[in-house]
Amino acid sequence: MSDLIRQALADADDTAVVVMGHDVLGETGRVFTELFGGSRAIVVADENTWAVAGDAVTASLRAAGVPLEDPYVFPGRPTLYASYDNAEKLRDHLRGVDAIACSIGSGSLNDLTKRASDELGRRYMNVCTAASMDGYAAFGASLTENGFKHTMSCRAPQALIADLPTMAGAPRRCTASGLGDLIEKIPAGADWILADELGVEPIDQEVWDLVQGPLPRAISDPVGLAEGRPEAFEGLAEGLIMSGLSMQKYRISSRPASGAGHQFSHVWEMEHLGMDQDPPLTHGLKVGLGTIAVLALWERVLDLDLSALDIDARAAAWPDAEAMEARVRASFTGTMVEPAVKETMAKHLTAGQLRERLALIQERWPSIRERCRAQVQPAATIEKILADVGAVTHPQQIGLTRRRFHDTYLRCRMIRSRYTLVDFLEELGVLESETDSLFAPDGFWGRRPWTK
């Protein structure tokens, strides 16, 4: 375990133990008895993760004298989906056994076990099988309920076992997904700076350091990750775990680890983009593309001159609550409509409030620009890192047309109440024009080939 993780655990409320290293699956039994004494255990997996680590984890638990229930193993096909329905199925099974769950898996299995255990008032532990997302140690589970993806409150695992060779042996798409999920912390940090400067959500410096501190190392060796070299996974696994521990410490929201780039992904997930594939298009692959999209926008934003901003004219043109709600309703269909209305209206300003916000933006713009310029990286740099690991770097790779992708820039702010760059630009009245510029012949997306 790294010194960074050790320091983070000292302040963590939920997670007490992280064992990360080479050939550490055999530590599962020892950690289980250390935390849960003589309790019975039930291994939770799907057929795929069971094939990877089921025998080793079970053998370790038995060797430590842990009494075992029969394992609960989800089918391996179709790929397990992180839906609340599946969390309920697992919860109902766990209710019938007096045992602590030990899940074997990555995002979906961890979140399902997290929520199911929490609803029963139980703790659990997880054995990580892939460096595919940052939610291992996170407070809360990202689940889809009634078609809308949101984070459900629940306690993080009490222990994590992260075996680097196991994670390195996962399918390459899992690693690409994890890097995509983590790399969005770059523009997410700039979003938090915006919120901090404007008094929306102040930065917690200790939490900021947990996320941003290990980030450069975590994304530094995409080629090594693509080649499955275990030593390359030390930084990525550490960064993903630290991101989860930061959310565990912060508790207020997932702000430390999630910004506008995640909102792109959430829109597509709610619209079931790639969900008809097997395996489905992962969250992190979409987040990685969202990261490129947002950083391309940041490159334009940092050159804005706000000295001549006409605050009165912008306030006069600002939609009232009724008009804004109508705009949201026209932007979504089905089960997405009502949650999007709720999220948008939670942050919608009156014309008077907008006038105050714009005056503050104009005053703080030099500081905002300086701090955010130091935080973000060029979109092309991140594009190259993601390409090296085999991630998604162009919308058409995942079936997005130019129009649908363009419109995601305009709609993504409506599905979360969190204040990000796209809210900032909407308030300034330039979100649509700046987005259009990205798709112009000399713009970031205009310079990349499109067939439709």
> Per residue in 170-221, pLDDT tens?
999 999 999 999 999 999 999 999 999 999 999 999 999 999 999 999 999 9
The CATH number that applies at residue 424 is: 1.20.1090
User: Over the stretch 224-269, which tens digit does the pLDDT of each residue have?
Assistant: 999 999 999 999 999 999 998 888 888 788 899 999 999 999 999 9
The CATH number that applies at residue 32 is: 3.40.50.1970
Residues 28 and 72 in one domain: yes
Residues 188 and 336 in one domain: yes
Q: What residues form DSSP beta bridges with 307?
A: none
Structure token digits, residue 55: 């025998």
Residues 153 and 266 in one domain: no
Q: What is the mean pLDDT of residues 128-140?
A: 89
* Strand, helix or coil for residue 437: helix
What does the alpha-carbon distance between residue 224 and residue 231 come to, in Å, rounded to a whole number?
8
Residues 12 and 97 in one domain: yes
**What is the per-residue pLDDT for 250?**
87
- Angle, alpha carbons 255-261-267 (nearest 5°): 100
DSSP string for residues in 26-77: GGHHHHHHHHHTT--EEEEEEHHHIIIIIHHHHHHHHHTT--BPPPEEE-SS
What does the alpha-carbon distance between residue 110 and residue 281 come to, in Å, rounded to a whole number?
18
Look-up of token digits 């222990």: 159
Q: Is residue 210 part of a domain?
A: no
Q: CA nearest 238: which of 405, 64, 18? A: 18
Q: CA nearest 157: which of 36, 253, 72? A: 36
Where helices occur in 126-232 by DSSP H, the ranges are 164-168, 172-183, 185-197, 205-212, 215-218, 222-226
What does the alpha-carbon distance between residue 195 and residue 168 come to, in Å, rounded to a whole number?
36
Residues 261 and 324 in one domain: yes
Statement: residue 106 has pLDDT above 90? no
Q: Is residue 433 part of a domain?
A: yes
Domain that holds residue 95: 3-170
Statement: residue 308 has pLDDT above 80? yes
Q: What is the DSSP letter of 201?
A: S
**What is the per-residue pLDDT for 160?**
96
Residues 303 and 408 in one domain: yes
Element (H, E) at 234: helix 233-250
What does the alpha-carbon distance between residue 266 and residue 108 come to, in Å, rounded to a whole number?
15
- Angle, alpha carbons 414-247-121 (nearest 5°): 105
Residues 152 and 197 in one domain: no
Residues 165 and 185 in one domain: no
Q: CA nearest 118: which of 95, 96, 146, 135? A: 95
Q: How many domains does the chain have?
A: 2
Residues 198 and 315 in one domain: yes
User: Over the stretch 29-39, which tens digit does the pLDDT of each residue have?
Assistant: 999 999 999 99
Q: Is residue 236 part of a domain?
A: no
Q: Is residue 220 part of a domain?
A: no
Q: What does each C-alpha distance from 3 to 18, 25, 107, 232 come to in angstroms? A: 11, 21, 25, 17
**What is the per-residue pLDDT for 138?**
85
Q: Is residue 93 part of a domain?
A: yes
Q: What is the mean pLDDT of residues 387-405?
A: 97
Q: What is the mean pLDDT of residues 56-81?
A: 95
Q: Is residue 381 part of a domain?
A: yes
Statement: residue 1 has pLDDT above 70? no
Q: Is residue 241 part of a domain?
A: no
User: Over the stretch 310-320, which tens digit does the pLDDT of each residue have?
Assistant: 999 999 999 99
Residues 181 and 165 in one domain: no
Residues 92 and 139 in one domain: yes
Mean pLDDT for the chain? 94
* pTM of the predicted protein model: 0.92
Q: pLDDT band at 105, cuts 50/70/90?
A: very high
| 146 vs 18: which has the higher pLDDT | 18
Backbone angles phi, psi at 350, to 5 degrees: -75, 170
Residues 51 and 98 in one domain: yes
Q: Is residue 186 part of a domain?
A: yes
Q: Tell the burial category of 368 from Cβ atoms under 10 Å away from its Cβ (0-12, 13-18, 19+).
A: buried
Statement: residue 82 has pLDDT above 90? no
User: Over the stretch 317-364, which tens digit does the pLDDT of each residue have?
Assistant: 999 999 999 999 999 999 899 999 999 999 999 999 999 999 999 999
